[in-house]
Amino acid sequence: MLDDQWFNEAQTATGTAFSLKITRKLHEEQSEFQFLEIYETEQFGNLMVIDGCTMVSTRDNFFYHEMISHPVLFTHPNPRNVLIIGGGDCGTLREVLKHPGVESAVQIDIDERVTRLAEIYFPELCESNNDPRADLKFIDGIKWVKEAAPNSVDIIIVDSTDPVGPAEGLFSADFYKDCYKALSENGIVVQQSESALLHMKILKEMRAEMQAAGFNHQQTVFFPQCIYPSGWWSATMASKSDLSKFREQDATNKGFETVYYNSDIHKASLAMPEFFKKAFA
Ligand code: SAM
């Protein structure tokens, strides 16, 4: 905190910091798993912070929630059963349920308190929580995927915190092997994969572990995300089958509202920066 006017997230490892001008602190609590804070900001609406890291703001969460869900959903030929690991603020769940072909969306977050706070401070993100296709459970996603029936899920979206604390195991080879088993033949796992500018080491490790787990096809998509370190974020898809094409016509005629995602943005988000191409050539 710079002073009582600003929320400040300083990332020692990357020598960067991000601040938002706040009007007041609305809530704080230590849950069983994490320290949760909610602020009212001057220009970004409400802000949720977990263990000192920005998670979601009213104003700019659409970038992340739309880009972690619509590219993977329009890449899969016919996504019906979707599993969300993490996602406690429920913004990803809302985007997934915009797809009429989705028959079930199970959300597994370890910390029920995140969802309960989202219901109060981000009600717009929770507007689909009572959709009959939605099923919210509060347990460890690592355990859930390990015990999932083989071939039972078309898409796994890992919308977790950074690879520390309870989320660390969600970035491991063992977890990806369990995802591989749980996914159907043309199933796809997509995971928030940090910033390619600041966290290439994590991205390289993730993609190597996904490869080692048997996912021969990987695709990282890039998008802005103001409140995260560097403001430039990514999500990485991994699959048993080809990821180079997507249902462009369906994406163009998507039939639901978004703020950022459309088929042009989808195409553009697949373009790899030169340094990224070289790193994974
Ligand atoms: N968009 C945010 C980001 O990229 O950092 C993530 C938002 S969401 C709030 C992150 C969620 O991951 C939290 O609700 C946290 O409880 C959940 N989480 C962390 N570790 C988990 C685990 N092992 N199983 C299930 N959920 C987990």
Per-residue pLDDT reduced to its tens digit, 248-274: 999 999 999 999 999 999 999 999 999
The distance from CA 52 to its chain's CA centroid, rounded to whole angstroms, is 18
- Whole-number pLDDT of residue 2: 52
Kindly tell me if the per-residue pLDDT of 185 is higher than 80: yes
Q: Could you tell me if 207 and 219 are in contact, meaning their C-beta atoms sit under 8 angstroms apart?
A: no
d(CA 178, CA 228): 28
SS (H, E, C) 204-271: HHHHHHHHHCCCCEEEEEEEECCCCHHHEEEEEEEECCCCCCCCHHHHHCCCCCCCCCCHHHHHHHCC
Q: Residue range 80-85: average pLDDT?
A: 98
Instruction: Using the predicted structure, report yes or no on whether residue 125 has a pLDDT greater than 70.
Output: yes
Map tokens 């996504």 to a residue: 79
Q: How confident is the model at residue 244 (pLDDT cuts 50, 70, 90)?
A: confident
Query: What count of residues does the chain have?
Result: 281
163 lines ligand 1 (CB under 6 A): no
C-alpha distance from residue 103 to each of 8, 31, 83, 133, 251 (Å): 41, 32, 11, 6, 18
Residue that is written with structure tokens 């373009």 in the block: 271
Q: Is the CB of 140 under 6 A from ligand 1?
A: yes
* Lowest-confidence pick of 2-6, 57-61, 166-170, 225-229: 2-6
Q: What single string gives the DSSP state of each residue in 142-164?
A: HHHHHTSPTT-EEEEEEE---SS
For the cut 90, the answer to whether the pLDDT of residue 1 exceeds it is no
Tell the residue nearest (CA) to atom 15 of ligand 1.
Answer: 86
pLDDT of 228 strictly over 60: yes
The CA-atom distances, in angstroms, between 246 and each of 29, 48, 89, 169, 219 are 42, 33, 27, 30, 12
- Name the band, by pLDDT with cuts 50, 70 and 90, for residue 3: low
Q: How confident is the model at residue 163 (pLDDT cuts 50, 70, 90)?
A: confident
Q: Is 4 a catalytic residue?
A: no
Catalytic residue among 51, 159, 174, 250: 159
Nearest ligand 1 atom to the CA of 233 is 4
Token pair belonging to 168? 């660390």
> Mean of the pLDDT values across residues 42-68?
98
The rounded Cα 209 to chain-centroid distance in angstroms is 18
What is the predicted pLDDT for the residue at 4? 74
Confidence of residue 281 (pLDDT cuts 50, 70, 90): confident
pLDDT in tens, 7-25: 999 999 999 999 999 999 9
Mean pLDDT of 97-106: 98
Pull the structure tokens for residue 24: 């007041």
* pLDDT, averaged across the chain: 96
- Tell me the average pLDDT across 117-126: 98
162 CA from centroid of ligand 1 (Å) = 8
Q: Is 20 helix (H, G, I), strand (E, B) or coil?
A: strand
Predicted pLDDT at 164: 86
130-152 pLDDT, tens per residue?
Answer: 999 999 999 999 999 999 999 99
Structural domains of the chain, with CATH: 6-57 (2.30.140.10), 61-279 (3.40.50.150)
In eight-state DSSP terms, residue 128 is: T
Sorted by sequence, the CB contacts under 8 Å of residue 215 that are 6+ apart come out as 176, 180, 189, 238, 239, 240
Secondary structure letter of residue 199 according to DSSP: -
Q: How many angstroms separate the CA atoms of 126 and 129, rounded?
A: 5
Buried/exposed code over 207-230 (b: 16+ C-beta within 10 A; e: otherwise) = bebbeebebeebbbbbbebbbbbb
